[in-house]
Structures are given as structure tokens and as C-alpha cells.
Amino acid sequence: MSRTVKSVGIIGTGRYLPERVLTNYDLERIVDTSDEWIRTRTGISERRISDADTATSDLATAAALKAMKNAGVTAGEIDAIIVATATPDMAFPSTACIVQSNLDAEKAFAFDVQAACTGFIYGLSIGEKFISTGDAKTVLVIGSETLTKICNWEDRNTCVLFGDGAGAAILREVECGEGILASLLGAEGWKGKFLTLPAGGSRMPASIETVKGGKHFIHMDGGEVYKFAVGVMPAATLKVVEKAGLTLEDIDFIVPHQANKRIVESAAKRLKIGNERIFMNLTRYGNMSSASIPVALDEALEQGLIKKGDNVVLVGFGAGLTWGSCVINWSR
Ligand code: ACO
């Protein structure tokens, strides 16, 4: 028996950022860096830092509660919880199961997605499939990270870039022709070595040596990731717009992954899209990996930058290396 494919959209969003702010000036006292270097090379001025007792699931739960309120959805109505994170509370249980328990979302199934900074777009695309095929009615997708807990605070190449936060979205069926019009996911696993957290898994189990060697921190070849990002961001945008049967002129707003101002501006230039059509908040938060896009989306909505009927592109890249993009016709 064939199934009817339903249109799926975001009916509510929410975000949560830890209160503590770490400015570039604070970082000047920690590593050999300067506010001037960080701002001119990345666009970042400050980032949020979670405290020692706070885990990724805590941020995720707070963002989810806001998205649920915004969407008018109760915990009992949620059929699936997908948490995109590169910084889970622990290897297992999944952060999604911990969030399920926090929310008392008893009937939901729950799992994590690991696609680093692209994770929220991966989660959105997976969640959409459950609803469009009729296997779920209401899906909660969260991007949540506590990246500052895996930063090496002695490595100026990486520790200035990242911040903590969480963003969430509720997905449901929407009017035919609205919601997610197209999505594309990709990976170039052979480039994975450019961005890794080497230890703590089966390849390099945790040991005194791995801790001493700083193998539980982010290791990044910034130049290679930069090259990947400036190529893939415009390409993934163009491809998904084409897949949706639209042109760039039909796109009202782009919410890109917030890693580096220069990467976003380079993508905008290649796409010949004015800065007023691209959202950026990385100056206040840095790169929050999977949380960057949903937090940016929630802020853009709050600021009235996205209206009903607008065509919005979400586009990101991250460790893996992965990339993803989607076009959403805004339905609220
Ligand atoms: N403060 C001062 N100097 C610094 C700092 C710092 N924080 N960091 C690096 N430098 C120095 C370097 O040591 C180097 O010095 P040298 O020339 O004496 O060796 C110099 O600055 C230039 O370094 P570059 O790497 O060439 O700087 P660049 O302009 O490329 O910017 C950056 C580096 C910001 C990391 C850039 O390459 C970038 O943004 N890459 C992409 C990173 C990214 O997006 N990561 C995504 C992670 S996604 C995820 O999934 C977690």
C-alpha cells in the first residue's frame, strides 16, 4: 500500500544560552591572543560558557521547553526526539533519551545524530521523513552543545572559536506546498582528519596517556576546514534551491552555520546575496556547532526577519566533514 507524503514544517522554535559570557578580552588573559585578531579573523567578540555542573542535555531541555511553548505542544504529544550533538552528556544513554526523561515525553522514541555542526540540518531532514511518511505526528529536533568543555584552553587556534548553547524546533505536518521544500545532506569522510576529537572512543580508549596528550580536545586544521567551508556553503545552497525548483531570487533569507564571519561573507559574495538577506549572530556566541543554526533561526524569527510565505535556506558544514542544506517555505 502506498503512503501519502505529507508536507512538514517548523511550527515553533526556542533557544537557551548559558548566562556566563567570555569575551575576547577575557581570552587575552588565558592564551596568547588579542581581541583584534579574533574579531578580524573570525568576527567573534564573545561566547557563552556553561558552568561545571551543566551538561548538553540541560541546555537542550531548556531550549526544547521554549520551542514547545512557542509551538503550543505538550510533552505528551511528542512522538520523536532527535538531538544533534557532538558533545553528548556521555557515550550512552543518548542525550535525546536524557532529554526525553527530563521532559516526561513518555511516548517519544529518542536518539542522537552525530554530524557535528551540520547535525541540526541532518536532524531536521530525518524528522521530516518520520512525519511525511506518517510514522510520527510531532517531532522535536534539538541542536545542543557544550563545546567549551572539549576545548583545549592552551590552544589559541581553537579555543577562541567555540561557545555553548542550544536551539530547538518542533516539526509537524503543514499545508501542502509549505514547510520543508527540499533538503540535501552530504559528507566527505576522507577529510575527517581535519577536525577530530581523537580519544575516548574504540580507536583510542581513554587512558592516562590520552589525557596527558590532550587527545580529548578538539584538533583542527583550520585552513583545510576553511577551504571546505567556503566551497561547500554556496554549492549546497545553490543545489538545494535548484532541488526545490526555485532560483536564488526566490530566496528571502539565509540562515547559515555561524562558524566564521569571513566564511559567511565569502558564501554571500559567491551567491551575490546582500548581507541583509543573511543572518549572523556569531559575534555574540561564536561557533556553537549543531546549536548555531537553530539559535540563529530562533533569533531571526524573534526579530521579525522571517515572515509567513518566505523561502528560507538553512545551510551548514562541520566535522566529518559533513554538509547539509534545506529550503523551508515558512508556514507561520
Ligand atoms: N590569536 C592570535 N593568533 C592566532 C590565533 C589566535 N587565537 N590563532 C591562530 N593564530 C595565528 C597562527 O598561529 C598563525 O600564526 P603564524 O603565521 O605565526 O603561524 C596566524 O595566526 C595565522 O593563522 P591562520 O590559521 O592562517 O589564520 P586564518 O586567517 O586562517 O584563521 C581560523 C584561522 C579562524 C581558524 C580559520 O582558518 C577558520 O575559521 N577556519 C575554519 C574553522 C571552522 O569553521 N571550524 C568549524 C568547526 S565545525 C565543527 O564541526 C566543530
Model pLDDT for residues 77-119, shown as the tens digit of each residue = 999 999 999 999 999 999 999 999 999 999 999 999 999 999 9
The residue nearest atom 31 of ligand 1, judged by CA position, is 41
DSSP for 201-266 reads SSSS---HHHHHTTTTS-EE-HHHHHHHHHHHHHHHHHHHHHHTT--GGG--EEEE--S-HHHHHH
Q: Is 33 in the pocket of ligand 1 (CB under 6 A)?
A: yes
Which atom from ligand 1 is nearest to the alpha carbon of 159? 7
Grid cell for residue 244: 526545490
Q: Is 266 in the pocket of ligand 1 (CB under 6 A)?
A: no
Q: Is 223 in the pocket of ligand 1 (CB under 6 A)?
A: yes
Exposure on the CB side of residue 4, measured as CA atoms within 13 A: 4
Cβ proximity of 259 and 291 under 8 Å: no
The pLDDT score that the predictor gives to residue 214 is 96
The residue nearest atom 33 of ligand 1, judged by CA position, is 222
* Distance from C-alpha of 143 to C-alpha of 121, rounded to nearest angstrom: 9
Which atom from ligand 1 is nearest to the alpha carbon of 118? 50
- 75: Cα separation from own chain's centroid: 22
SS3 of residue 136 by DSSP: coil
pTM of the model: 0.96
Q: Is 318 in the pocket of ligand 1 (CB under 6 A)?
A: yes
For the chain, give the number of residues: 332
The residue nearest atom 35 of ligand 1, judged by CA position, is 222
The residue nearest atom 11 of ligand 1, judged by CA position, is 157
Residues with catalytic roles: 117, 257, 287
Residues of the chain falling short of pLDDT 70: 1-4
Direct distance between the N- and C-terminal alpha carbons of the chain, in angstroms, rounded to an integer: 32
The pLDDT score that the predictor gives to residue 2 is 53
* Distance from C-alpha of 249 to C-alpha of 297, rounded to nearest angstrom: 20
The residue nearest atom 26 of ligand 1, judged by CA position, is 223
Least Cα distance to 67 among 292, 298, 289 occurs for 298
Question: Which residue's entry shows cell 556566541?
Answer: 285
SS3 of residue 85 by DSSP: coil
Q: Is 139 in the pocket of ligand 1 (CB under 6 A)?
A: no
Q: Is 225 in the pocket of ligand 1 (CB under 6 A)?
A: yes
> What residues are paired with 328 via a beta bridge?
180, 312
Tens digit of each residue's pLDDT (9 = 90 or more) over 57-86: 999 999 999 999 999 999 999 999 999 999
Least Cα distance to 293 among 306, 303, 279 occurs for 279
Q: Is 37 in the pocket of ligand 1 (CB under 6 A)?
A: yes
C-alpha distance from residue 220 to each of 27, 182, 196, 215, 266 (Å): 19, 31, 7, 12, 21
Cβ proximity of 57 and 89 under 8 Å: yes
Least Cα distance to 256 among 244, 273, 246 occurs for 273
Grid cell for residue 201: 572512543
Which atom from ligand 1 is nearest to the alpha carbon of 263? 39
The pLDDT score that the predictor gives to residue 275 is 87
- Residue 251 CA to ligand 1 center (angstroms) comes to 32
Which of 226, 322, 323 best tests ligand 1's pocket when mutated (most atoms within 8 Å of CB)? 226
* Distance from C-alpha of 328 to C-alpha of 251, rounded to nearest angstrom: 10
- Residue 215 CA to ligand 1 center (angstroms) comes to 19
